[in-house]
Structure 1
């Protein structure tokens, strides 16, 4: 039999045909390399954005939910993760199609309205920018506090205020290696974030493997039940929802989605003078050193320059979206990246944290009842006493990796927000210093004066602020992505297209040519509409309404003294 197969293969090779078995192996090999090639280029935005959904604020809320209600609130974790996926996909589509981030769109939408211009600016745009900055500061505050707690757990002799100062400095050091908001992705930045994300996932998986989990009961928690409406459970569920969906991640995700991941050009191209020197290699060694020193000094000066950008349009009618080829090569890769990263990392890590709290504090030896929720310090102490020092060390390392990665992402998001809303080309170093200093002041004050109990209170308060700000950020995102006027792209056709956006936007019908068009030049005004359909818009409005109702419930509960 083997001889006959070999003879068949030899006869196929002599005839110039490929054996079926080798043909399928080649196809699988080619498909595997194709997937790897696309994943290498387009993976990054989803992992960076997923960090915001399991930051230290989520840790605190998940520990509280698991220690008070067991596995019952896993459904809320899943639902919040699906909400986050939906909104993050909208942000990705906005960036890929239009080439502008959410903050820049908000400025274009509200800064130069044809009627009541100043009213729109001072009643809508600037308050929206203030809310976005409050969200950034609150997020950075939570990351600083979470990282400080992790350092204190790793090094008990290290004071909390010293942990706050340390984590504030090392994030600036990491971000000094490059600006992640370039027109091309900075892979070094994405690899750092990916390493920290995998560190959190691996640490949590090892801890879960060491504890006794009733997996049948845990999976039942992903099914909605009437117990979600029990006394106190609904309030905690709203806390989980508010701590999961982060406003700053929507701003950053839309900005990173504008980057060109197909181009092979260098992110930091050399200047013409340097290129000429490199190509001709003319000049003395002293002259080359002088030119190098001058270039280094000029680059150093640009790090601290704040200038107003005049290149950005004043309205959506005065700008062009990305080319159809760019959108087609980035949009669906970006959506797959976002969905797989948020479901594969954010939802799983949040669920593992809640399962850990449930198994240890609700069903295990550390059961304390629903009146006394567990904190990060409590979780570390009990894990150390019941499971062992190794598991406690992994818990602290996972918290540190979560805090550091989320802090890096929040600082970069602050840079995107300020540049987009203010239309300023802000130096990354200055923007990060400002964000860091604003977050450091209250963190240091609480760490020095109040201590661990005050840090836990401030951590929860930051999540409440983020939950209140979220609806104001989500509404413009839903409006922008549902507008066909904003989300449409010119078709590429042999006849060519008009390069004037005023012509295409003012024409009542695609079949009618612009008034000032040259009849000798064939033109087309066909568009590809990438706006959300009626179903997507309805789902977006429904999610927005749920978030608003949840916020109203939280505010009423806090006013009546029912908040935890």
Structure 2
């Protein structure tokens, strides 16, 4: 028997019959369009905002401040170009997750873990080093977020030492634990709403600061046009830094994982167990109402705490031996999610990440480069320098908003980096431990070096470590983007069966693997030709752009390494 594909049912639009008859046709059409957009946005918005956080984290702040203070508005084109690169790669990661139902880390394991020939060599020479590089990227990212948030807390409360700020900002992992597992098959809306609130806080704070700053808007908009000043002495190195700080490896892993979630079907109803032992029921009869409530609350809280550290069974099916044997998501699922997810990613990255990064660079240009003062344009500005100069030139209110925006950016990016670490470990290693343990380990890996630097060297060491973390991320990035472009360009990986498989237990269409998970049975060449597939792999132009971006990133890395080796990068 075949699985029927049910049409998506939208919620009924509220209508007033009397007003509908009186309104002109264009008003009614505009109302219908607006309601449809609102309905789809409510269902599908969330993953884009979460992924956009990675592109304006404290590492980006440091690089943007350096670019604006030394070169004015000239490098705004690099900010825009880096944002377009990030949106392109993030769309590829989203398409991979929606079509295949697997995240990028799981695909890497499927690609390299059990090769038909020399499997152990592929595993130890490619898969595990790739996992190690991914973990290095996660730790470098989390380290930058912790340090950035610690600087923000120090700016808000000068009496608080930097190491104390690191400890306080690391406590946001408790918030993550209370939200459940954001990487389940259903999106955790509270998690997405908290991240969205932090993103809007950054955007509003920066917009208010820019409104209080004297900006040469004509010159600023000229900065979005490419010019030869990008290749001037030192500007190219800073441009590479902007590229490395903008395109984040951990966001590609997380974006592909969030794209596998079903945002159309309703959340399953939670069953509440009402069974109690006879002795417990008897004791409740002899207790007051308050005692009963307290006992039940403590019992529920203890059960909840125990469940946090219990290894949960994975909802994802066991990985087959190869991509050729894997069955992707249904055509109905892909049609319902793919284009909504792509629009969500592009709008959020260009509407939040690019705009916020541009605001930071414009702010640094206005208060450092185009304004005479103590700092001038001779040396790059740090986060502490920016706060001091904003306070002296614009006012204490603007300086407070700057610190609050930095704190919101650091906290949101730190939460996202921790969840991305969970996705990486689950995909590469298929760990059978609780998500809470994975998040704690990820947080500790970033907390330890942050505390060492904060205690040993202070603010100057933090600024140096922020720069080093962005260089590390830039070096790791090509190793992550190449499998992403290759996987999304493969028709074997990205094809979807338009006609559902026969799920009858007596049908040979499905077979059971050694793990019991249903997989597609091998078909003859004639059967494959008669099967109705839809190919979602990249076209030739997209493949060319993908590998061109990869090549640009590689060349940029080589340039950075050579420049640093010659002692000229700084």
Q: Give the TM-score, by structure 2 length.
A: 0.88
Structure 1 residues 483 and 212: alpha-carbon distance in aligned structure 2, compared to 1, 3 A threshold: same
Q: How far did 1:364 drift?
A: 1.2
Q: Which residue of 1 aligns with 2:541?
A: 535
- Cα distance 1:85–1:285, how it changes in 2: closer, same or farther (>3 A)? farther
Once residues 352 and 18 of structure 1 are traced to their aligned partners in structure 2, the CA distance between those partners, rounded to angstroms, is 43
In 2, the alpha carbon distance for the partners of 1:508 and 1:65 equals 57
1:32 maps onto 2:38 in alignment? no
Secondary structure of residue in 2 paired with 1:253? helix
Secondary structure at 1:531's aligned position in 2?
Answer: coil
Compared with structure 1, are the counterparts of its residues 465 and 536 closer, same or farther at alpha carbon in structure 2 (3 Å cutoff)? same
Q: Distance in 1 between matches of 2:245 and 2:486?
A: 23
**Counterpart residue number, 2:556:** 550
User: Where does residue 306 of structure 2 map in the other structure?
Assistant: 301
Q: Distance in 2 between matches of 1:466 and 1:220?
A: 30
Match of 2:4 in 1: none
Offset of residue 294 of structure 1: 7.3
Cα distance change on mapping 1:110 and 1:216 into 2, 3 Å: same
1:75 aligned onto 2:81 = no
Distance in 2 (alpha carbons) for counterparts of 1:292 and 1:152 = 38
The alignment status of 1:178 with 2:180, answered yes or no, reads: yes
SS in 2 for 1:471: helix
Q: Is the Cα contact below 8 Å between 2:326 and 2:520 reproduced in 1?
A: no
Asked whether the equivalents of residues 415 and 426 of structure 1 are also in contact (C-alpha less than 8 Å), the reply is no
Give the 3 Å change call, closer, same or farther, for CA 202–502 of structure 1 in structure 2: closer
Secondary structure at the aligned position of 2:525 is classed as coil
Cα deviation per residue 1:504-543 (whole Å; 9 max; x = unaligned)?
A: 764335565xxxxxxxxxxx51100011111111100000
Establish whether residue 354 from structure 1 lines up as the match of residue 361 from structure 2. yes
User: Any stretches of 5+ residues in structure 2 without a counterpart?
Assistant: 1-17, 286-291, 512-517
* Cα separation, 1, equivalents of 2:126 and 2:407: 37
Is 1:560 the counterpart of 2:561? The answer is no
Q: Confirm or deny: 8 A CA contact 1:68 1:362 kept in the other structure.
A: yes
Work out which of the residue numbers 90, 94, 97 in structure 1 matches 2:96.
94
Structure-2 residue corresponding to 1:401: 408
Aligned-residue offset at 1:474: 0.4
Map of 1:270 onto structure 2: 271
CA deviation vs aligned residue, 1:12-69 (integer Å, no higher than 9, x gap): xxxx998584443333222211111110010001000000000000000000000000
Q: How many angstroms apart in 2 are the aligned matches of 1:326 and 1:109?
A: 24
1:13 aligns with none
How far did 1:432 drift?
1.4
Checking the alignment, whether the CA contact within 8 Å between 2:50 and 2:196 is kept in structure 1 is yes
Measured in 1, the distance between the counterparts of 2:283 and 2:262 equals: 38
Higher mean C-alpha deviation, range 242-251 or range 289-298: 289-298
* Deviation string, structure 1 residues 392-444 (Cα, Å, up to 9, x no partner): 00000000000000000000000000000001133121111111111111111
Gaps in structure 1 of 5+ consecutive residues = 1-15, 513-523
2-structure distance, mates of 1:374, 1:17: 58
Counterpart in the other structure of 2:524: 507
For 2:302 and 2:454, how far apart are their aligned partners in 1?
39
Residue of structure 1 aligned with 2:448, choices 434, 441, 451: 441
Q: CA offset at residue 177 of structure 1?
A: 2.4
Q: Secondary structure at the match of 1:528?
A: strand
**Is the counterpart of residue 322 in structure 1 residue 326 in structure 2?**
no
Once the two structures are overlaid, the 10-residue window that deviates more, 142-151 or 363-372, is: 363-372
1:485 equivalenced with 2:492 (yes/no)? yes
1:107-149 residue CA offsets vs partner (Å, 9 max, x unmatched): 0000000000010000000000000000000000000000000
Asked if structure 2 preserves the Cα contact closer than 8 Å seen for 1:510 and 1:526, the reply is: no
Seen in structure 2, the aligned counterparts of structure 1 residues 511 and 229 have a Cα distance that, compared at 3 Å, is closer
Aligned CA RMSD, in angstroms, stands at 2.6
Count residues in correspondence.
530
Q: What CA distance in whole angstroms lies between the structure 1 residues aligned with 2:444 and 2:179?
A: 20
Going from structure 1 to structure 2, the CA distance change for 1:509 and 1:559 (only over 3 Å counts) comes to: farther
Matched, 1:132 2:134: yes
- Say whether residues 1:431 and 2:448 are aligned partners: no
Could you list the structure 1 runs, at least 4 aligned residues long, displaced by more than 4 angstroms after superposition: 16-20, 283-299, 306-310, 493-506, 509-512
SS of alignment partner, residue 117 of structure 2: coil
Alignment equivalent of 2:398, drawn from 383, 387, 391: 391
Equivalent of residue 216 in structure 2, options 214, 217, 225: 214
Report the Cα distance in structure 2 between the residues aligned to 1:257 and 1:318, rounded to whole angstroms. Answer: 21
Report the secondary structure of 2:496's partner residue. strand
Distance 1:554 1:285, change over 3 A: farther
